[in-house]
A and B are shown apart, each in its own frame.
Chain A
């Protein structure tokens, strides 16, 4: 592996300064399951690796019905999916966090790192989008919030500026009759990169029969994960039935712009994203009725 300086600041101000000093030649290190592999593979050259795991704010994990979910950028996936409150209130995030890699990876990899890595196939990103997650970012010019659907800029690229660090992800408090689900298709049962993935969330009315609002997001079918905003909006005011689900899934397929590669073809990916969206919507609706 190339030589670099390793630093492990214990507060955010130092971390920002250490990142900003080196500009594009600095990288943040959380779980390391992407960054260390990329460094070893020569994907980028750096002078400094800033380990963010010792910064208290990045280790925050708080979840409540009143304040929502704050998920620090350095919190590993296993702590997310083992938390009973998160399991109950943010099922889409739990679905995706428990699908990343195997147990070894989940003990180390972070949801925040998965977002920053900005892979088109990043499993947590569609799930975060349908849970209305916001990325809280801190940098030399202060703090800003970025909706997760606006965070990825291309394969492996995100909108963070030099010196900026993802501090946490925040998701709003869950509403009654809300449900979400994330699904992906891989040829193996575990441990693979999605050929296509889809997340859906719905908010139902008190009767549990009608859709008040819905969000759909898909991955591995475009240079970045895609928020299928219009497809979700089609469901507003509709009955939560198969016809509505079918219509939304067809609209979702229309925003998929996949490529042919070793994992799958364009046709296969568009087909899969339709199937996965239907299934994710069905599960999201049934979860909304339970909740």
Chain B
């Protein structure tokens, strides 16, 4: 077996050290070494977006990144999207709009859409469809996903902290807005 390399990264706000072989993808490291199986493997060649993560502020397919390339980088995965207080508006909207069936593509869609709404909370349907073109879903036909992202954008803009009426949490609107708009 090849020598393992020591890598230091920040994942979902926590500093993490791991060992990996140079040939291991960041996707393999996240899932197999770190047990963070929320990020999914789909095509494993950069077409489907199931393994979308945020790497130093940019969404990437982590099947096309080596684990060793994560040295010194800041990473957000689906596990870092919800807060202790509750779901992110996108997660809530995906539930309310039934924007998933088998669910394999969902983490990638949510991480990618979160990155869009942070840049452009008023993104319209065309913009959302363009931004999510690198995420494939073979169940929903996309309409429900697009509707959920539009709804999440409205929730964020209205500052209700992502809580729609059907998902009242214990946190006040003003507090939770800060949580969701980081």
Closest to A189 in B: B133
* A49 on interface, CB distance cutoff 8 Å: yes
- A101 B58 Cβ-Cβ under 8 A: no
A-contacting residues of B (Cβ < 8 Å)?
2, 5, 21-25, 44-47, 49, 52, 55, 58-61, 63-66, 68-69, 112, 115, 129-135
Pick from A6, A40, A51, A108: contact of B60, CB under 8 Å: A108
B55 contact set on A, CB distance < 8 A? 107
A53 contact set on B, CB distance < 8 A? 69
- A108 B2 Cβ-Cβ under 8 A: no
Closest to B56 in A: A107
Pick from B45, B129, B134: contact of A104, CB under 8 Å: B134
- Among A34-57, those with CB < 8 Å from B are 36-37, 39-41, 49, 51, 53
B-contacting residues of A (Cβ < 8 Å)?
1-6, 8, 29, 31-33, 36-37, 39-41, 49, 51, 53, 76, 78, 101-105, 107-108, 189-191
Distance from B49 Cβ to chain A, minimum over Cβ atoms (Å): 6
- A32 B64 Cβ-Cβ under 8 A: yes
Closest to A53 in B: B69
**Bound-complex Cα distance A190 to B131 (A):** 10
- A191 B134 Cβ-Cβ under 8 A: yes
Distance from A52 Cβ to chain B, minimum over Cβ atoms (Å): 12
- B23 A104 Cβ-Cβ under 8 A: no
- A190 B64 Cβ-Cβ under 8 A: no
**Bound-complex Cα distance A51 to B135 (A):** 27
Q: Apart from A3-B2, A107-B60, A190-B133, what are 4 other A-B pairs with CB-CB below 8 Å?
A: A4-B22, A51-B69, A107-B59, A108-B58
**Bound-complex Cα distance A78 to B44 (A):** 22
B23 contact set on A, CB distance < 8 A? 1-4, 39
- B112 A37 Cβ-Cβ under 8 A: no
- A32 B134 Cβ-Cβ under 8 A: no
Query: Given A37-B64, A104-B60, A105-B46 in contact, is the A191-B69 Cβ separation under 8 Å?
Result: no
Distance from A22 Cβ to chain B, minimum over Cβ atoms (Å): 14
- A49 B22 Cβ-Cβ under 8 A: yes
Give how many A-B residue pairs fall within 8 Å (CB-CB): 84
Pick from A5, A33, A51: contact of B46, CB under 8 Å: A33
**Bound-complex Cα distance A105 to B60 (A):** 6
Closest to B111 in A: A104
- A37 B46 Cβ-Cβ under 8 A: yes
- B59 A103 Cβ-Cβ under 8 A: yes
- B134 A105 Cβ-Cβ under 8 A: yes
**Bound-complex Cα distance A107 to B130 (A):** 15
- A6 B22 Cβ-Cβ under 8 A: yes
Closest to A38 in B: B45
Distance from B130 Cβ to chain A, minimum over Cβ atoms (Å): 7
Distance from A218 Cβ to chain B, minimum over Cβ atoms (Å): 24
- B65 A108 Cβ-Cβ under 8 A: yes
**Bound-complex Cα distance A40 to B47 (A):** 14
- B22 A101 Cβ-Cβ under 8 A: no
Query: Given A32-B64, A37-B45 in contact, is the A78-B69 Cβ separation under 8 Å?
Result: no
- A6 B133 Cβ-Cβ under 8 A: no
B64 contact set on A, CB distance < 8 A? 31-33, 36-37, 105, 108
Query: Given A102-B133, A103-B134 in contact, is the A3-B58 Cβ separation under 8 Å?
Result: no
Could you write out 23 A-B pairs with CB less than 8 Å apart? A1-B25, A3-B21, A3-B23, A8-B68, A32-B64, A32-B65, A36-B64, A39-B23, A41-B45, A53-B69, A102-B134, A104-B46, A104-B60, A104-B134, A105-B46, A105-B134, A108-B58, A108-B61, A108-B64, A189-B133, A190-B133, A190-B134, A191-B133
B65 contact set on A, CB distance < 8 A? 32, 36, 108
Of residues B46, B132, B133, B135, which shows the largest number of chain A Cβ atoms within 10 Å of its Cβ? B46
B52 contact set on A, CB distance < 8 A? 104
B61 contact set on A, CB distance < 8 A? 33, 104-105, 108
**Bound-complex Cα distance A78 to B60 (A):** 11
Closest to A36 in B: B64
